[in-house]
Amino acid sequence: IGQRIGEPTGLGVPVHASVSGTVAAVEPRPHPGGTPVMSVVINNDFQDTICPELCAPADPDSLTGEALTKLIHEAGISGMGGATFPTDVKISSGLGKLDTILVNAAECEPYITSDDRLLRETPERVLSGLRVLLRIFGLSKGYIGIEANKKAAISILKELCPPGGDVEVRVLKTRYPQGAEKQLIQTITGRQVPPGGLPAAVGCGVFNAATCAAIHDAVYLGMPLVRRTVTVTG
């Protein structure tokens, strides 16, 4: 688990094994997007053996922004909010342009609760990843936007983020599409991203809660992105 098995060509990030076992084939396989993609097929040995080459940096808190961005790339982290855009590219394109970092924990789509569970069970990972981003951009404060219907997660976050600290929790009205990037920015900051523009045009960077947790795992545990929480509903 965690061993690198694929390199990107062009815009992308490295791919890592999500199970331990033996490579059986490298061939096109069906993808959720609807088209076959070149895939590494692994026969799972169900031993969950972690790649012995994986290790966290000796002193992650001393790493420069450039080193942290490279580490995020090497860990194969893409945006977990749905667009799957390479996180290191998003960071690099925003350097020198941002004054506000927002964590998107709105999760406004009906029934979806992956980020809700993440913030109830391991909120420290999300906050840690946010603080890594703040270090990279040289900012002193970040915001977490979360819809009001996630009462348990809000209670936990407010306990971990007291007033006057480096992270402010913003409780948002429960409505769709509150979690869309541009709507979230306008609700929290009052700024409007111009048509066809990116959040950086108004000094904002938006990162999904699960992306922040993955950044923590990469920086402090040395673990690349190999797992994704999903909601199953009927």
pLDDT value of position 110:
84
Give residue 185's Cα distance to chain centre: 17
Give residue 26's Cα distance to chain centre: 28
pLDDT value of position 109:
87
Task: Please compute the mean of the pLDDT values over residues 189-204 and round it to a whole number.
Answer: 95
Separation of alpha carbons 202 and 21, rounded Å: 47
Query: What is the tens place of the pLDDT at every residue in 11-36?
Result: 999 999 999 999 999 999 999 889 99
Query: What is the tens place of the pLDDT at every residue in 36-69?
Result: 999 999 999 999 999 999 999 999 999 999 999 9
Cis bond upstream, residue 14 (ω within 30): no
pTM for this prediction:
0.95
